Amino acid sequence: MTDVTDNPTNEFVTVKIGPQLFGLPINRVHDVFMPEAITMVPTSTPEIAGVLNLRGRIVTAIDMRRKLGIAPLEDGGSSLAVGIEFRGESYGLMIDAVGEVLRLTEADIDQNPVNLDSRWSSISSGVYRLEGELMVILDVDRVLATQMPLVKAA
Amino acid sequence: MDDLLSEFLIETAESLDVVDVELVKFEQDPNNAKILDNIFRLVHTIKGTCGFLELPRLEALAHAGETLMGKFRDGEPVTQTAVTVILQSIDRIKDHLVVLEESGHEPEGDDQDLISQLEQLALQGGGEVGEPEAPDQAADAVTSDDEPSATTPAPEDGEEPDDLDRELRPGEVSLDELERAFQAADGPDIGKPEQFWITDAEKAAEAAASEGGDTAASAATPVNEAPKPDAANAKQPGAERAADGAARGGEGGARNQSIRVNVDTLEQLMTTVSELVLTRNQLLEIDRRHEDSEFNVPLQRLSNVTAELQESVMKTRMQPIGNAWQKLPRIVRDLGNELDKAIELEMVGAETELDRQVLELIKDPLTHMVRNSADHGLEDTADRPALGKPEVGTIRLSAFHEGGHIIIQIADDGRGINVEKVKSKVLEKGLATKEDIDKMTENQIQKFIFDPGFSTATQVTSVSGRGVGMDVVRTNIELIGGSIDLKSVQGEGTTFTIKIPLTLAIVSALIVESAGQRFAIPQLSVVELVRAQTNSDHRIETINNTPVLRLRNKLLPLIQLDETLGLEADDEAAVPEADDETEQAAEDGFIIVTQVGALQFGIVVDGVFHTEEIVVKPMSAMLKDIGMFSGNTILGDGSVIMIIDPNGIAQAVGTSLANTLEELENEIETAATGNDSVIPMLLFRAGSREPKAVPLSLVTRLEEIDVATIEHTNDRDTVQYRGAIMPLIYVNDQVTRRTEGQQPLLVFSDDDYAMGLVVDDIVDIVEETLTIEIQSETPGTLGSAIIKERATDVLDVGHYLPMAFEDWFERKDVSLSSSATKILFVDDSAFFRNMITPVLRAAGYDVTSFGSAKIALEKLKAASDFDVVITDVEMPEMDGFAFAEAINVNAKLKHLPVIALSSFNSPALVARGRKAGFFDYVAKFDREGLIAAVKDACAPVSAAA
C-alpha cells in the first residue's frame, strides 16, 4: 500500500477512535459516510456492527471500538464510517471523528511498541510521533483480513 | 485473423462435442445414414476450416478421420475399433485446439500414429474390394496425406469403390469425391426436413428451436438438439455458414437469426437489470406510502416493463440442460469399454432450460454421478442375467420442471446401495456409533454416502472410488441452493434426485420478522405457512423444551428463528419496529414449513409480511462463514436484510434437530411396541364436543335404549335390563337427557351387577397407541390422551361403578372376607394400575398395586401374605422377567404364581415367560382372561390349603 521507491512521503487521513488518533492511508479511503439503518447480522462476531445500504451497495460495517477493545460510546454511537474497498467488497470502519489529511515522511515511522496490546499491534503498521500526540497507522488490509479467522473461532 | 481463429476455436469445440455424441450413437446404430451424414459433415467442416486457416496438422488428422468415415458412408461395416480410433483422433484434435488457443499456433510434431491407424482401418475396410498393390502404396503414402489439395481425377461414380480404388491410393478418397459426398450429405435447401441441423440455419430461431426439440424427441437421444439456435448460447450456427468459411462474415448475419454474445455482456446486462428491479421496488415502496400519487400509473407501467425486461434477460441466460449432458454419452461409452459393462444411457428432458450459471455448476456433479452409477451402481454385464435383469444396464437421466425448481434424476437399474456395507463402513470410519445406526432407517443409512470421506468401493478404479465424490457433489449442489436425495432399493437400483433452483440471481422471497428484525426466506424453500395460536388446531407444543407442531399426520420439529440466530428480545432497542408481537405467548407465531432434503421442519417467526422479488447479493467475505445466510439484499425501503438459507439453518441446528427427530421417532416406536401398545378404545361424546374414551375391553356391551323405558326410582334413573334393574349413571351433568327416542349406553357388568353409563353418542372404535399425556385431577377422568390426533379424556370407570352400586368393589370382599385372595399388582404405568386395579377389585380380589418391581419385591419379602402376583412385563429398572426370576429364586416366595401382563404376545415371549417362571401370560385388556388366570392361579393354592 505504501510506495516505497518513488515517494518517501505518505498521505494519511486521520481519524479518532476513542481517545486515540489513527491514520489511514489516503489511497485506501473511498469515502466517509454516516452509517444509517445498520442491519445487525446475527451470529456474526461482535466487531461486525452489521450491514447497511450505501447508495445501492451493501457495506459491511465494522465497529472499530469493539475491534480495538475500547468501550462503546455512551450515546450508542452516532459515529462516522470510513468507506474502504477490500477484495472487491465494501466495508465501513466505524470511527468517532475524522480529522485532517497529513503528509508524513515514511522514514519517520516508528515500529509498534512491543508492549502494545496484540489487538492493536495486529492491525497497526507503525506509529508516528506527531507534535502533541501519537498517531497509530491503521493497516486496512489487516483490519479486514484478521476478521476471518476470528469468525471461524467464534 | 485472430477473431477468425477464436471463432473457429469455439465453433470447432462445439462441433467436436456433437461429433462425440453422434459417434456413440452411430456405433449403436451403424445403419443410420442420417447420423453418419451428420458426423461426416461436421468433420468435413472442421477440416475445411482448418485448411482455410492454414492449420495443416489439424487438417491432416481431420482428413484421415473423414476418409475413414467416408468408407462407412460407402457401406463398410462399422467396428468398435474404428469408432474408438476416430474418438481418439477427436480427442487429439481437442488437445491441439487447447494448444492453439493458448499459443495461437498448432503444436509441433505430427499425428502419424493416429493417421496411419485411421488409414489402416480405412484400408482394411476397403481391402475387400481393393487391389493387391494397395498396402505398399499405403505404406509410403504418408506425406501426401498432408496435402489434401492434391487432387486426382474424380471418379465418375462415387458408388463404385472399385473405380475409386484404381484411381487413388487404397483407402484414400479424393478431395473432390469427399466434397461431392459432402454435398450429397448436405441435402441442400430442397433438403430433407428431418435434418434439422441444416434447416435451422434458415429458419427463425424459435421455429428451429421447436423443430430441434421435435427432432430431438424423436431421436434416440435428445442430445441431438445441441445445435439448436438459442439467443443465449448461439450455438452451432448452421452448417453452411461454417462451411462457407471465407464468405461467412458476409452471409452469416443475414441468414442466421442468432448471434453470439459474450457471456460477460450478458452478465453485465443481468446485473443492470437486477439494479433496475431494485430501484423499481424502491419506487413502488415509496408509491405505496402515497396513495393518490400521480406517479401511480406510469410507475405501474415501469414496473411491468421492468418485469418483462427481467424475464427476457433471464431468458437469454437460459440454456437447455442437454448442454450439460453433451459429454455424457461419450463418457458412458468409454466407461462401458473400460469396465467391460454394457451400458445404455437414456436421456429424457434435455430441452429443459435452466440458468447458465446453474448449468455450469451442475455439469461436474452430474458427470460424476453418472460415472458413479456406471461404476458402482450397475452390475457387471455377466452377472446381470443371473439376477433376472437384461444384460445391458440402463442409466436414465431425466430433467423436468417442478414449481420453481428443476428436478434432475439419475437412475440406474443396478444393484442398489448395500445398506450393510454402508453400515460397516460408517462404523469403520467412525462416522456414527452403532447405537445411532441401529436407530436409523435404511434411507438414513444410505445417505451416508454423501458424507465426506465415504466410499464403499472396495477397489479403487480409475473411474471412481477415491472417496471424494458424493460429498463434493452434495456440497456443490447445496452451494447453488439445491438439494440432493436418493432412493435405493437393493437389487433394483438407485435413483438420485437433484432439486435446484432455476436461477440464482433474482428470487422471490418471503419477508418475515423475528425478534424485531426482518429476514428474507426464499419462496422456493417454503413448503407452506402455518399460523400457530394457542387456541387453534395449530399450537406449538414442546417435548422436553423442544418445540414441535402437529401438522396433519406428522410431528414437525420446529426451530425458533430468534433462538437459532441468537436474537434476544431486548436487542430490539435498535430496531424501531419491535412491537407487542414478541410479547405474545411462546405458542404463537408463524411457522414457515421448509424442506431440506428429506427433512421437513418449521421455522418459527414472529411475523410474516409479504413476498418480494429480491436480488441476491453475496455476503461479504467477512460474513461468509455464517452458514445460516445465503446472502443479503436491499429491500424496497432501502434497508439491508439477510436471506435465510434453510439448508444452513438445518445444519446449524442439525444435530439437535436430527436427534429430536430420532427421539420422537423412537418414542413413537416404543409407544408402538412397548407398554402402551395399540389398544382398542371406544370413543364417545358426553356433555361436550370433545370426545371421551374408555378402553373397549372394559365395556361389556353397547346398548341403545328407548328413553320411554327409563324409570326414575329412588332418586336415580334405572332401566330394566335383562330381567334386572340396571342403574343409569350419567357421565356428567352436561349429558343431554333425551325426552324421546333412543339413548346410547355403555353397559359395564360383572356377575349380576350391571351399570349403564349414559352418553350423548358413540363416535367410533379406534385402535390407538394410548399415552396419557396429562394426568387428571378431575374425578372420573384418568387423564388426557391423544386419540385420533385429538386430545381426549380417558374415563376412569372405577369412579362410576360405585356410583351404581356402592358395594360394587366391596361386595365380594364381604363374601370372601379375610380369605379374599390377595393380589400384588405391578405396573409402571399409572394408567394401567388405575385401569386394572378396579377390574380385579370388581372381581373380588384384594389388590395392592406398585409402580416399581423393585419396591414390590421388597414388599413381598417383608410380607408374604400375597396369593398371586400380577406383573407387567415391560418396565424400566427391573422388568417382569427379572421380577419373576427374583421371586422364583426366593425360597419363601417360590410358591407364588406370577401372571405376566403384556400387550405383546408372541410365542417366543410366552416361552421366555414360562422359563422365567410365569404362571400365565395374559394380554393386557383381556379382562376375562386375566380373571380366569387369577382364578386358575388361586385354585392350586386353595386346593393345597
Question: In this predicted model, what pLDDT tens digit does every residue of B577-634 receive, in sequence order?
Answer: 434 433 344 557 888 998 776 678 889 898 888 888 787 777 887 887 777 888 888 8
For residue B272, give the chain A residue with the closest CA.
A56
CATH code of the domain containing B338: 3.30.565.10
Residue B153 pLDDT class (50, 70, 90 cuts): very low
Q: Do B574 and A148 touch (CB under 8 A)?
A: no
Give the whole-angstrom CA distance, residue B498 versus residue B718: 69
Same domain, B375 and B493: yes
In chain B, which among 837-866 make CB contacts under 8 A with chain A?
A: none
**pLDDT value at residue A23:** 92
CATH code of the domain containing B938: 3.40.50.2300
Q: What is the CATH number of domain A9-153?
A: 2.40.50.180
- In chain A, which residues touch B (CB < 8 A)? 37-44, 48, 51-53, 56, 58, 60, 62, 87, 89-91, 144, 147-148, 151-152
**pLDDT value at residue B130:** 36
Lowest-confidence pick of A95-99, B285-289, B655-659 = B655-659
Domain enclosing residue B908, as ranges: 811-944
For residue B618, give the chain A residue with the closest CA.
A58
User: What is the rounded average pLDDT of the residues B747-772?
Assistant: 76
Domain membership flag for residue B704: yes
Give the whole-angstrom CA distance, residue B494 versus residue B486: 7
Same domain, B824 and B886: yes
CB B620 within 8 A of CB B632: no
Give the whole-angstrom CA distance, residue B329 versus residue B25: 8
Residue B656 pLDDT class (50, 70, 90 cuts): low
> Which of B320, B342, B368 lies at the terminal end of a domain, its last residue?
B320
Q: Using a CB–CB cutoff of 8 Å, tell me whether B275 touches chain A.
A: yes
**pLDDT value at residue A51:** 92
Residue B925 pLDDT class (50, 70, 90 cuts): low
Domain membership flag for residue B211: yes
Domains of chain B: total: 7
Of A100-109, B116-125, B424-433, B693-702, highest mean pLDDT: A100-109
Neighbours of B893 (CB within 10 A): 17
Higher pLDDT, B302 or B104: B302
Give the whole-angstrom CA distance, residue B126 versus residue B161: 8
**pLDDT value at residue B520:** 92
Q: Do B566 and A42 touch (CB under 8 A)?
A: yes
pLDDT per residue over A72-116, tens digit each?
A: 776 665 578 999 988 778 899 999 889 889 888 888 888 888 888
Higher pLDDT, B582 or A51: A51
Residue B158 pLDDT class (50, 70, 90 cuts): very low
User: What is the rounded average pLDDT of the residues A59-80?
Assistant: 80
Whether the complex's predicted ipTM is more than 0.85 is answered with: no
Rounded to 5 degrees, φ, ψ at A110 are -100, 150
Give the whole-angstrom CA distance, residue B883 versus residue B857: 7
**pLDDT value at residue B658:** 52
Domain membership flag for residue B665: no
**pLDDT value at residue A22:** 92
Same domain, B313 and B345: no
Same domain, B106 and B232: no
Lowest-confidence pick of A107-111, B53-57, B128-132, B759-763 = B128-132
Q: Using a CB–CB cutoff of 8 Å, tell me whether B653 touches chain A.
A: no
For residue B616, give the chain A residue with the closest CA.
A58
Q: At what angle do helices B907-916 and B880-889 cross, to 10 degrees?
A: 30
User: What is the rounded average pLDDT of the residues B302-309?
Assistant: 88
CATH code of the domain containing B63: 1.20.120.160
Same domain, B269 and B311: yes
Give the whole-angstrom CA distance, residue B472 versus residue B352: 24
Domain membership flag for residue B621: yes
Q: Using a CB–CB cutoff of 8 Å, tell me whether B190 touches chain A.
A: no
Cβ-based contacts of A148 with chain B (< 8 Å): 621-622, 625
- Report the gap between the CA of A64 and the closest CA in chain B (Å): 15
Residues facing A60 on adjacent strands: A51, A91
> Which of B209, B241, B260 lies at the terminal end of a domain, its last residue?
B260
Same domain, B156 and B193: no
Domain membership flag for residue B661: no
Of A33-42, A141-150, B26-35, B867-876, highest mean pLDDT: A33-42
Q: Using a CB–CB cutoff of 8 Å, tell me whether B675 touches chain A.
A: no
- Report the gap between the CA of B614 and the closest CA in chain A (Å): 13
Q: Using a CB–CB cutoff of 8 Å, tell me whether B640 touches chain A.
A: yes
What percent of chain B is modeled with pLDDT above 70?
A: 72
Beta strands in B635-710 (DSSP E): 640-644, 678-685, 691-695, 701-706
Element (H, E) at B589: strand B589-596
Lowest-confidence pick of B38-42, B241-245, B524-528 = B241-245
Give the whole-angstrom CA distance, residue B128 versus residue B106: 37
Same domain, B345 and B462: yes
User: What is the rounded average pLDDT of the residues B372-390?
Assistant: 84
**pLDDT value at residue B519:** 92
**pLDDT value at residue A136:** 92
Same domain, B715 and B827: no
Q: Do A42 and B617 touch (CB under 8 A)?
A: no
Ranges of each domain in chain A: 9-153
Same domain, B140 and B206: no
Averaged pLDDT score across all residues of chain B: 72
Same domain, B331 and B464: yes
Domain membership flag for residue B107: yes
**Interface test mutation site (partner B, options A36, A41, A84, A89, max chain B beta carbons within 10 A):** A41
For residue A143, give the chain B residue with the closest CA.
B622
User: What is the rounded average pLDDT of the residues B342-353?
Assistant: 87
Q: Is the pTM of this model over 0.80?
A: no
Same domain, B540 and B605: yes
Domain membership flag for residue B339: yes
Assess whether pLDDT exceeds 80 at residue B242: no
Strand order in the sheet with B506-514: B607-615, B506-514, B517-522, B640-644, B629-634
**Interface test mutation site (partner B, options A36, A38, A39, max chain B beta carbons within 10 A):** A39
Domain membership flag for residue B816: yes
Q: Do B642 and A37 touch (CB under 8 A)?
A: no
CATH code of the domain containing B315: 1.10.287
Same domain, B131 and B67: yes
CB B240 within 8 A of CB B197: no
> Which of B468, B501, B534 lies at the terminal end of a domain, its last residue?
B501
Assess whether pLDDT exceeds 50 at residue B858: yes
**pLDDT value at residue B569:** 52
For residue A87, give the chain B residue with the closest CA.
B621
Q: Using a CB–CB cutoff of 8 Å, tell me whether B626 touches chain A.
A: yes
- Report the gap between the CA of A91 and the closest CA in chain B (Å): 9
For residue A148, give the chain B residue with the closest CA.
B622
